[in-house]
């Protein structure tokens, strides 16, 4: 390749976008479809001209932030078009249009170039027949078994249920077009509400009978679909910002008490379904501690509720995911990258924004997208705040309807959710994969860069960060207080004298309650066993074969359940079993006495949490060099003997670690537990019982659910300790 001299600067693409958007804003009030189409054409053609004149489109590929922006803008523009939003949101879309066009053109050009390069490179053409033949001879029977069985399981229990859901999404009332359900989701006011009325207020001020003034922050309702999107976006952005901030300070600065900070920052990662949202609800109620503070300071109380409450609860629960990813990204940056910049005179914010952040961005973004997915599918916060105007709650409530039949509209909604989550996930995965080179060092020293904090920094850390970290750990602290009755289930007080282990004991003594614990334990154990077997087959096949399409497909299929919302699995399984097992005990429509929920739940668990186990087992196989196996094969051992006799014992700690992590995520699973499990309450697991307690539909109180939360925290603590202390491995907290 030769260098082309160009006069076109990259910022011209922004100018193009800006002008197009400006034209739209100027014409906004009089615009008609033809003029608007013309504007879109202008944006595209402009980008095309710049492309032809040799603008450096590769910048989009290589610049970390720019490629990220492109992915985000693509999703944005897509939704603006689908939802037919007009006004300023559309102007923003027009601003992105030239950039997107350029990215697409550049992508196509690069594809053509690499295609030509490879065509030139290929000297000998090997026919498909010969390729298949060599592969066939190369693989042993046992590897065939692994590949075929692994694929079969993923196809039957993952692909087919999701496809069935999609099929039902197109079930429409007679006389309606086939896309009717989707049309409804994108066009009815319940889902998308773009005009606001004076009653749609972000907060209201209320005066109680006793004369107290209370600010009630509720958030604005934009309709189910937009609510979910806006909520997920707000949660993701805030969590990302907080996560980066905390991670950067903890990774780069040294100050007294840093270890304590790091431990405190991990606390929100302990999963306590429902209870975290519940504690936040108490904290921010008109009788909660925040109101007590504001009331003494300003004379008014505060209550955060509805959509705003959901967002707050999710931010507090999910920000550590970004924090963990950002932290490991920061400490994985080759120190010489920053030292070089310092050496050339860079420091402080300039250094951070020009070198550090761009290099850490792929890791951070990987965490952010998980937050986005988790926020979309989260049920805990919406159920506790009784916020039904979210996609997740809608799907969930369709399971609890009297008819026992899930409506096709919910299948369509599930598909929209799946589309959002997996598209984001796949885009980010390729983005991160493309950029993981940033962390590859080629020798040289590797000591962490750490600085002492100045007094300003110390003030910030102790006055802002410490309260923030303690605050985000509140839900987990709260669950312990609730479980031991130190904190009452409603209102707010700390009564140390009323502390009692009674509720905790009741978990094991009351047979009506213990059944849920027993269910969870049995299901989790069986499911984890299944998941481990599947994981070994898949991880071995993926790490030891290099088949062109099959290997990456298998890899993706085994990872993607991470991005598939649990509710989508629940919907898919509902259709799957009610279609193929109609009339058998596995049919969810059989009613709460005949339906055997436990089998369905176990399979759902083992598929949903498969990625956690696969990842650990795969890491184990990576540790065993292929030459080690080849040496054994060379000396006459059969492949199965090598796998079961040499490799598996060698990586046993990895397998067990994977199994333990799997066990934890299965025992805390919510989405399928309360939907599929809810169809047969006596076979439901702990999380279902916890939800019922928080909804107030049980004879026992919230304390019992809190005690269950404490039990789950204990499980997780033990798991962390076994993995880190006994197996000397890293505990795989959620991360891509």
Partner 1 sequence: MTRVRLENVTKIYGSVVAADHITFEVESGELFTLLGPSGCGKTTTLRIIAGFEVPEEGKVYFDDEDVTFLKPYLRNTAMVFQNYALWPHMTVYDNVAYGLRIKRKQLGLTEEEIRKRVKWALELVKLEGLENRYPLQLSGGQQQRVALARALVVQPRVLLLDEPLSNLDAKLRIEMREEIKRLQKKLGITTIYVTHDQLEAMSISDRIAIMNKGKLLQYGPPREVYFRPNNLFVADFLGRSNILYGEFLGWDGEYAIVRIPELDMDIRGVATTKDLPRKVAIVVRPEIFRLAEQQPSPKENVMKGVIDLVMFLGDRIEIRLSVSKTDLIVYLPNTLYPTPGQELRIIAPKDNVIVLPAKWE
Residue 336 CB, shortest distance to partner 1, in Å, is 4
Using CA atoms, how far apart are residues 587 and 600, in angstroms rounded to an integer? Answer: 9
Let me know: does 425 contact 373? Beta carbons within 8 Å.
Answer: yes
Instruction: Provide, rounded to whole angstroms, the least separation between the CB of residue 672 and partner 1.
Output: 41
Name which of 307 and 359 has its Cβ closer to partner 1: 359
Place of tokens 């702990």: 686
359 vs 534, which CB is nearer to partner 1? 359
Distance CA 442, CA 329 (A): 17
Q: By CB under 8 A, name the binding residues for partner 1.
A: 2-3, 56, 58-59, 62-65, 334, 336-337, 339-347, 350, 354-355, 358-359, 435, 437-438, 441-445
Q: Which two tokens stand for residue 17?
A: 């976008």
Q: Which residues contact 143 (CB under 8 A, 6 or more apart)?
A: 540, 541, 544, 545, 639
Q: What is the nearest approach in angstroms of partner 1 to the Cβ of residue 119?
A: 20
Could you give the CA distance from residue 266 to residue 567 in angstroms, rounded to a whole number?
27
Would you say 379 and 392 are in contact if contact means Cβ atoms under 8 Å apart?
yes
Closer CB to partner 1, 64 or 574, in the complex: 64
Minimum distance from residue 359 beta carbon to partner 1 (Å): 7
Q: What are phi and psi of 193, to 5 degrees?
A: -125, 110
Could you give the 3-state DSSP secondary structure of residue 253? strand
Taking the C-alpha atoms of residue 49 and residue 46, their distance in angstroms, rounded to an integer, is: 5
φ/ψ of residue 395, rounded to 5? -65, -45
Nearer to partner 1, 127 or 343 (CB): 343
Least distance CB 627 / partner 1 (angstroms): 25
* Residue-wise DSSP of 280-304: HHHHTSTTSHHHHHHHHHHS-EEEE
Please state the closest distance from residue 286 (CB atom) to partner 1, in A: 49
Q: Which is nearer to partner 1, 441 or 545 (CB)?
A: 441
Q: How far is the CB of 109 from partner 1 (least distance, A)?
A: 15
Is the CB of 449 or the CB of 458 nearer to partner 1?
Answer: 449
Q: How far is the CB of 82 from partner 1 (least distance, A)?
A: 32
Q: How many of the other CB atoms lie within 10 Å of CB of 359?
A: 20
Residues in Cβ contact with 442 at an 8 Å cutoff, skipping those fewer than 6 apart: none
Closest CA to 239 of 123, 319, 332: 319
Using DSSP, state whether 288 is helix, strand or coil: coil
Question: Which of residues 361 and 656 has its CB atom nearest to partner 1 in the complex?
Answer: 361
Please report which helix (H) or strand (E) contains residue 357, including its range.
helix 357-377
Q: Which is nearer to partner 1, 110 or 682 (CB)?
A: 110
Closest to partner 1 by CB, 317 or 366 = 366
CB of 105 to partner 1, least distance (A): 17
DSSP code for 4: P
CB of 10 to partner 1, least distance (A): 10
CA distances from 314 to 27, 201, 299, 310, 372 (A): 39, 22, 28, 6, 10
When the beta carbons of 62 and 298 are compared against partner 1, the nearer one is 62
Side-chain-side CA neighbours of 270 within 13 Å: the count stands at 28
């Amino acid at each position: 390749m030769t260098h082309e001299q160009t006069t076109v600067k990259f910022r011209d693409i922004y100018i193009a976008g800006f002008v197009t958007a400006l034209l739209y804003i100027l014409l906004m009030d009089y615009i008609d479809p033809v003029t608007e189409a013309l504007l879109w054409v202008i944006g595209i053609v402009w980008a095309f001209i710049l492309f032809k004149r040799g603008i450096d489109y590769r910048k989009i590929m290589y610049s970390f932030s720019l490629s990220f922006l492109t992915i985000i803008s693509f999703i944005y523009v897509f939704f603006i078009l689908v939802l037919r939003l007009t006004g300023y949101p559309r102007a923003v879309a027009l601003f992105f249009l030239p950039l997107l066009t350029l990215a697409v053109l550049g992508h196509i050009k690069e594809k053509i170039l690499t295609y030509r390069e490879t065509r030139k490179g290929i000297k000998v053409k090997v026919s498909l027949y010969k390729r298949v033949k060599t592969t066939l001879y190369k693989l042993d029977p046992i590897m065939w078994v692994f590949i075929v069985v692994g694929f079969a399981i993923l196809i039957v229990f993952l692909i087919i249920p999701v496809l069935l859901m999609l099929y039902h999404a197109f079930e429409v009332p007679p006389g309606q077009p086939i896309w009717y359900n989707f049309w409804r989701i994108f066009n009815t006011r319940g889902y998308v509400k773009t005009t606001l009325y004076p009653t749609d207020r972000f907060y209201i001020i209320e005066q109680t009978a006793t004369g107290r003034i209370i600010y009630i922050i509720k958030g604005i309702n934009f309709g189910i679909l937009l609510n979910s999107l806006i909520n997920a976006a707000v949660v993701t952005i805030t969590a990302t910002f907080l996560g980066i901030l905390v991670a950067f300070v903890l990774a780069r600065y040294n100050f007294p008490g840093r270890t304590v900070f790091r431990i405190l920052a991990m606390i929100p990662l302990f999963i306590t379904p429902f209870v975290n949202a519940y504690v936040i609800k108490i904290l921010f109620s008109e009788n909660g501690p925040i109101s007590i503070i504001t009331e003494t300071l300003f004379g008014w109380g505060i209550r955060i509720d509805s959509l705003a409450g959901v967002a707050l609860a999710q931010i507090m629960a999910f920000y550590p995911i970004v924090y963990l990813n950002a932290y490991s990204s920061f400490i994985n940056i080759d120190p010489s990258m920053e030292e070089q910049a310092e050496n050339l005179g860079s420091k402080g914010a300039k250094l951070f924004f020009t070198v550090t952040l761009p290099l850490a961005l792929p890791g951070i973004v990987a965490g952010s997208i998980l937050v986005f997915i988790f926020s979309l599918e989260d049920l805990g916060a919406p159920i506790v705040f009784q916020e039904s105007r979210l996609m997740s709650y809608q799907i969930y409530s369709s399971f609890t309807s009297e008819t026992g039949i899930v409506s096709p509209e919910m299948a369509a909604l599930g598909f929209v959710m799946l589309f959002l989550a997996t598209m984001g996930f796949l885009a980010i995965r390729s983005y991160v994969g493309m950029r993981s080179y940033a962390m590859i060092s080629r020798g040289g020293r590797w000591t962490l860069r750490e600085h002492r904090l100045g007094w300003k920094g110390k003030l910030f850390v102790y006055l802002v960060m410490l309260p923030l970290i303690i605050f985000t750990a509140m839900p987990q602290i709260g669950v312990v207080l609730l479980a031991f009755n130190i904190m009452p289930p409603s209102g707010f007080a700390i009564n140390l004298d009323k502390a009692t282990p009674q509720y905790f004991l009741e978990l094991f003594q009351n047979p009506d309650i213990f059944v849920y614990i027993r269910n969870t334990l049995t299901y989790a154990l069986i499911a984890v066993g299944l998941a481990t077997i599947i994981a070994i087959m898949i991880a071995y096949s993926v790490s030891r074969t290099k088949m062109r399409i099959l290997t990456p497909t298998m890899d993706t299929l085994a990872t993607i359940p991470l991005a598939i919302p649990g509710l989508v699995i629940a919907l898919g399984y509902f259709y799957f079993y009610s279609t193929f097992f109609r009339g058998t005990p596995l049919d969810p429509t059989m009613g709460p006495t005949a339906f055997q929920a436990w089998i369905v739940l176990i399979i759902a668990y083992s598929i949903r949490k498969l990625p956690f186990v696969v990842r650990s087992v795969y890491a184990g196989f990576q540790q065993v060099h292929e030459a080690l196996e080849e040496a054994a094969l060379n000396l006459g051992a059969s492949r199965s003997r090598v796998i079961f006799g040499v490799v598996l014992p060698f990586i046993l700690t990895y397998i067990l670690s994977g199994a333990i992590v799997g066990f934890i995520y299965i025992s805390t699973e919510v989405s399928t537990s309360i939907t599929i499990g809810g169809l047969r309450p006596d076979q439901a697991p702990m999380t279902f019982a916890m939800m019922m307690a928080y909804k107030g539909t049980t004879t026992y109180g919230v304390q019992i659910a809190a005690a269950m939360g404490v039990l789950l925290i204990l499980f997780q603590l033990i798991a962390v300790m076994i993995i880190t202390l006994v197996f000397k491995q890293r505990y795989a907290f959620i991360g891509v």
